[in-house]
């Protein structure tokens, strides 16, 4: 990287960092909930400082000591692998993360759950000045929020950052392919991690789950083991209301199903789902 490029990058980052601090201060003074939520992206403590050997994609890092790290809170489009083509905006998301991190060390705060099913470490990632990397990616439209319990720290801040990018059509939100899919029009489970929009019809109850049935053969599934995160939610009151859910699709008994594990994955009438 040339000295000119490095200087330009540093200048841009500094400008963003100080502007963000100013916005947070204004939000606190004015009682703006959205801006106050942004302050939640900071961490008062860190568990480890590490060096990055490789940026694999927009949300995965290889550390210099050989460990592989999945960044908590954000899901970016997938790069090509084996017989699957790259998803739109995958290369842009990786390039953005590479440009942000450069050669500097990063600080980590581990999740309550420290490994995923692939053996990758799970952590929130910060620059030396405290900037939250997931928030930065989401605010610029390089990914979608991803909240998987028990790693729910910063979830409201991450959601606010994504909503800002969506509102201003930044990054991948400027592409028609990332606009919410209409329930009843999803025909396959290979759509990737997406937003789903629909109107809640029948509310189903089973021994294992609560079901929000939408148009067509599309449904939202919430396992009873996750209901503790939905404290105070009256699911029956959602009937007839429009929701926006985020997640992956799977097929279950001739239905296309999106399972959600946390309120961060569900918006009702354009607002985050309210819990107690």
Helices (H) and strands (E) in the chain, counts: 5, 18
Listed in sequence order, the residues at least 6 apart from 205 whose beta carbon sits closer than 8 Å to its beta carbon are 211
Q: Kindly provide the b/e burial profile for residues 73-107, where b requires at least 16 CB atoms within 10 angstroms of the residue's own CB.
A: bbbbbbbeeeeeeebebbebbbebbeebbeeeebb
Statement: the pTM of the whole predicted model exceeds 0.75: yes
| 157-169 pLDDT, tens digit each | 999 999 999 999 9
% pLDDT > 90, the chain: 76
φ/ψ of 248, rounded to 5, equals -105, 155
Nearest to 104 by CA among 130, 124, 79, 70: 130
- How many residues would you count in the chain? 276
| 49-67 pLDDT, tens digit each | 999 999 999 999 999 999 9
How far is 145 from 151, CA to CA, in rounded Å?
12
Q: Give the per-residue pLDDT at 39.
A: 47
User: Residue 165: in which H helix or E strand, if any?
Assistant: helix 155-167
**Which residues of the chain form CATH 2.40.50.140?**
180-272
Distance of alpha carbon 187 from the chain centroid: 24
Instruction: Name the pLDDT band for 113 (thresholds 50, 70, 90).
Output: very high
φ/ψ of 64, rounded to 5, equals -65, -25
Contact 173, 205 (CB under 8 A): no
For the domain bounded by 43-172, which CATH number is listed?
Answer: 2.40.50.90
Q: Give the per-residue pLDDT at 12.
A: 52
Q: Give the per-residue pLDDT at 22.
A: 41
How far is 40 from 60, CA to CA, in rounded Å?
22
**Which residues of the chain form CATH 2.40.50.90?**
43-172
Architecture per CATH, 180-272: Beta Barrel (2.40)
Instruction: Name the pLDDT band for 171 (thresholds 50, 70, 90).
Output: very high
Residue 140 has pLDDT above 50, yes or no: yes
Q: Give the per-residue pLDDT at 185.
A: 84
How far is 6 from 78, CA to CA, in rounded Å?
28
């Amino acid at each position: 990287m040339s000295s000119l490029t490095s200087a330009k990058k540093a200048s841009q980052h500094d400008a963003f960092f100080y502007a963000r601090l100013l916005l947070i201060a204004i939000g606190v003074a004015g009682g703006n909930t959205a801006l106050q939520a942004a302050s939640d992206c900071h961490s008062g403590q860190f568990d480890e400082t590490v060096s990055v050997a490789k940026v694999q994609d927009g949300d995965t890092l290889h550390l210099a000591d050989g460990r592989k790290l999945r960044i908590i809170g954000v899901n970016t489009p997938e790069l090509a692998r084996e017989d699957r083509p790259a998803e739109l905006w995958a290369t842009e998301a990786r390039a953005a993360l590479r440009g942000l991190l450069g050669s500097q060390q990063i600080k980590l705060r581990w999740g309550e759950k420290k490994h995923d099913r692939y053996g990758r470490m799970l952590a929130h990632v910060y620059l030396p000045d405290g900037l939250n990397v997931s928030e930065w990616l989401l605010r610029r439209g390089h990914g979608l929020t991803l909240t998987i319990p028990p790693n729910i720290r910063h979830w409201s801040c991450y959601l606010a950052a994504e909503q800002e990018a969506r509102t201003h059509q930044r990054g991948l939100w400027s592409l028609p392919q990332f606009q919410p899919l209409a329930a009843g029009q999803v025909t396959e489970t290979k759509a990737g991690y997406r937003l789903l929009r629909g109107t809640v019809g029948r509310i189903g109850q089973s021994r294992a789950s609560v079901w929000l049935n939408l148009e067509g053969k599309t449904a939202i599934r919430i396992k009873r083991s996750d209901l503790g995160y939905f404290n105070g939610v009256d699911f029956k009151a959602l009937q007839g209301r429009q929701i926006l859910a985020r997640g992956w699709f799977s097929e279950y008994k001739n239905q296309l199903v999106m399972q959600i594990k946390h309120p961060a994955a569900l918006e009702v009438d354009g607002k985050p789902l309210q819990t107690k």
